[in-house]
Amino acid sequence: MTTDNSVHVSVLGLGAMGSALAGALLKAGHATTCWNRTPGKADGLVAQGARAADTARDAVRAGPLVIVCLLDHASVHEVLDPLSGELAGRTLVNVTTTSPSQSRELAEWAARAGVAYLDGGIMAVPQMIGRAGASVLYSGSADVFEQYRPLLDLWGDSSYFGEDAGLASLYDLALLAGMYVMFAGFMHGAAMVAPAGVTAGEFAARAAPWLTAMTGAFEEFAAVIDGGDYTVEGQQSLHFSDLGHLLAASSGQGISTEVVSMVQRLVQRQIDAGHGEEGFARIIESIKQPG
């Protein structure tokens, strides 16, 4: 395993996240070459000791490890396709947000080009990189993960999910799905109380501890889902999970009911299918099998 700071790293893409990743490498003493399509993006990193490459090709040539943090899947191919020959024999860690199928396609592309490939999903905002709470999910080459893990750990807690290059992306996007729906629920609640003169800040002070406490139900739901028996005692039945009162209250406050209506539809489909006496966890069947 790499245990020192002798690895020369090239970072392609200096948006907020790419710059944060490069900054963490520089702070740890790694020789770092940076490239970005827009000139001047590397200036702050150069002041910290980075070398700015004029072209992506020059950056790739600088060292054995290439980190890619670009806009999207298309951008990765646009930058790397002309450099497949230069990348041969090197290691590529792609932390650009991509879909599972896109991650697998990039892994196949890298294999054809003779490039060792590791895919990553960053579970952090740029300001969190290198700090407690940041984590990065990886899948693809186990050898790459093990060899460079001390370096990868500079960004956040590293987790490896196996040789299937699409798994890190799958976990990443699944976690983000939960986050965005939760955020939408918070926004809905804040909108509900606003007509009563309650600020979003006041509502957040109430919502944060409540929602944090409610995440404790995840393990209980997971046990029911994995067991496949939604009739387990102790669960709130779907009949008692009807959200009609929330819809009525939302309408009464003059706000959109879209967020709550989405959950209500998932509940109602299972009730209509004859499962009203079963637990709330059963709505996962509505999600698994779209109507």
Q: Does position 2 have pLDDT exceeding 50, yes or no?
A: no
Q: Does position 267 have pLDDT exceeding 80, yes or no?
A: yes
Q: Does position 103 have pLDDT exceeding 90, yes or no?
A: yes
**pLDDT score for 230:** 95
| pTM of the complete model | 0.91
- pLDDT tens for each residue of 108-152: 999 999 999 999 999 999 999 999 999 999 999 999 999 999 999
Tokens 């987790």, residue located: 159
How far apart CA 47 and CA 42 sit, in angstroms, is 9
Q: Does position 19 have pLDDT exceeding 90, yes or no?
A: yes
Domains of the chain with CATH codes: 9-163 (3.40.50.720), 171-288 (1.10.1040.10)
pLDDT band at 51, cuts 50/70/90? very high
117 touches 111 (CB < 8 A): yes
Mean pLDDT of 168-186: 97
Angle among Cα 142, 148, 150 to the nearest 5 degrees reads: 120
pLDDT band at 236, cuts 50/70/90? confident
pLDDT band at 233, cuts 50/70/90? confident
pLDDT band at 5, cuts 50/70/90? low
Burial of 234 (0-12, 13-18, 19+ CB in 10 A): exposed
